[in-house]
Amino acid sequence: MRIEEYAAPLSIRQRLASYLVIVAALVAVLYGFNYREGIVSATFPFINREAGITARYPARWLLEEGGSRFVLRAQDPAALPFKTTIRLQLIPIGSGARPADILDLLDVDRASRLPAYRSLSRTPTTLPGGQRGQQMIYAYAFIDPNPFLQAEPITVRALDLVVLRAGQAVVITYEAKSDVFEKHQHYFDAFLRSLTF
């Protein structure tokens, strides 16, 4: 079927159809952004009654709890080659211990364990819940333990946040590949906002 010499002005229906598809495409794209935000910022609750800690971690991340070195560890499986990590650990302390002492302890421990470890800065900080503590930013080279991968070392940037509570230091750590450290930090900030202990 052939429509010849079609030069008549557009009918109302044709105009509406044209406008509707533009509006629908715009709405779909805006909803797509909204959908993205919904998925990216979705969280799951973490409750550890024994340690008296509750928080919310990103829903897409893999949670590990009850390890020998931490209470909680959440990792982003999509962040390759180094999985962005949020870790929370409790360290028993004696009376009179200060957050800076804990950071010194972590400093010494990591310097012996992590290749090319460097402590970059220390600053006093306050958690969204109002607890005062100290934070340390550091960097190290991550080398994949699998020798068959023959991967280059990855520069990892990390942040330790130490807050004291009765007889314990709460150490909250955020680690990411250095070039995505700031990009992924909103996950850590959201985690801190939801953290209660």
Nearest to 168 by CA among 64, 110, 97, 103: 97
- Closest contact distance (angstroms) between CB of 5 and another protein is 9
CB 127 within 8 A of CB 146: no
Region binding another protein by CB under 8 A among candidate stretches 8-16, 46-54, 83-91, 113-121? 8-16
Asked if 36 interacts with another protein (CB under 8 A), we say yes
Asked if 120 interacts with another protein (CB under 8 A), we say no
Region binding another protein by CB under 8 A among candidate stretches 2-10, 67-75, 139-147, 167-175? 2-10
Residue whose CB is less far from another protein, 3 or 166: 3
- Closest contact distance (angstroms) between CB of 28 and another protein is 4
Asked if 148 interacts with another protein (CB under 8 A), we say no
Region binding another protein by CB under 8 A among candidate stretches 36-44, 105-113, 156-164, 168-176? 36-44
- Closest contact distance (angstroms) between CB of 60 and another protein is 5
Question: SS3 for 76?
Answer: coil
Could you please report the per-residue DSSP string of 3-67?
--S--SPPPHHHHHHHHHHHHHHHHHHHHHHHHHHHHHT-EEEEEETTTTEEEEEETTSEEEES-
Cα 163 from Cα 126, distance rounded (Å) = 9
- Closest contact distance (angstroms) between CB of 69 and another protein is 25
What track of x and - describes contact with another protein for positions 71 through 90 (by CB under 8 A)? Answer: ------xx------------
- Closest contact distance (angstroms) between CB of 173 and another protein is 22
Question: CA 181, 183, 184, 187 torsion: positive or negative?
Answer: positive
Q: Give the residue carrying structure tokens 């991968």.
A: 149
Asked if 11 interacts with another protein (CB under 8 A), we say yes
Measured CA angle at 71 (ends 70, 72), to 5 deg = 95
Residue type at 135? Q
Q: Which residues bind another protein (CB under 8 A)?
A: 1-4, 6-8, 10-11, 13-14, 16-18, 20-21, 24-25, 28-29, 31-33, 35-36, 39-40, 60, 77-78
